[in-house]
Chain A
């Protein structure tokens, strides 16, 4: 199975900041990487697929990059509604696997 490791596991930031979350795959997954946002008590929401493609309706403040084993999610100009947990997920191979999540908190 492909292991997905996110860093950091938690992150404190202020409104208006820009943050970067990193995701590393245990083996190469080309660009078959998605990012998901989840707020407490809510269903996950898809943000990005194919490493850098925004889902419809997702604001351009979110951006993704990477290929192979190393990927990043950038979020610019943080707003209160952006504070949530973010997961990366690979779909290069079955079983589909998620990272452990990065909790983004307000400083």
Chain B
């Protein structure tokens, strides 16, 4: 059974940092693109970042302005999102997802999500 489990969320002050993790099981992690997608309270889905199987390609939504970094550890079957200089507008549920297609462009499995709240 494919499972993706996010952790590392919580309350952080504006300007602070947080590192999200996503532990996967049930599939060969190193063979897949991986992604982060977020959803602000009461809002729609927003793609955040993608990373290729070997980490050699990474893509981000423009609005992040270089504040977030996606990474992975294939040996640990884990995906990460380092979030720096957090703003109130980064408050959202963050989902990790398994990417499909040549550029990991659509998502066939999703984690349950983890809430990040940026507030003083």
Contact = CB atoms under 8 A, between A and B. Distances in A.
A83 interface: no
A32 B47 CA distance: 15
B87 interface: no
B109 interface: yes
Contacts, number: 61
Interface stretch (A11-19, A43-51, A68-76): A43-51
A100 B59 contact: no
Contacts of B107: 34, 36, 44, 46
B105 A44 contact: no
Interface string B102-117: 0101111111110000
Interface string A17-53: 0000000000000001010101000011110010000
Interface residues on B, range: 20 to 34
Nearest to A36: B45
B110 A45 contact: yes
Interface of B: 37, 44-47, 50, 59-62, 95, 100-101, 103, 105-113
6 contacts: A34-B105, A34-B107, A43-B112, A87-B45, A95-B59, A95-B62
Given A46-B110, A49-B100, 19 more contacts: A32-B105, A34-B107, A43-B110, A43-B112, A43-B113, A44-B95, A44-B107, A46-B108, A89-B45, A89-B47, A91-B101, A91-B103, A94-B103, A98-B44, A98-B45, A98-B46, A98-B47, A101-B44, A101-B45
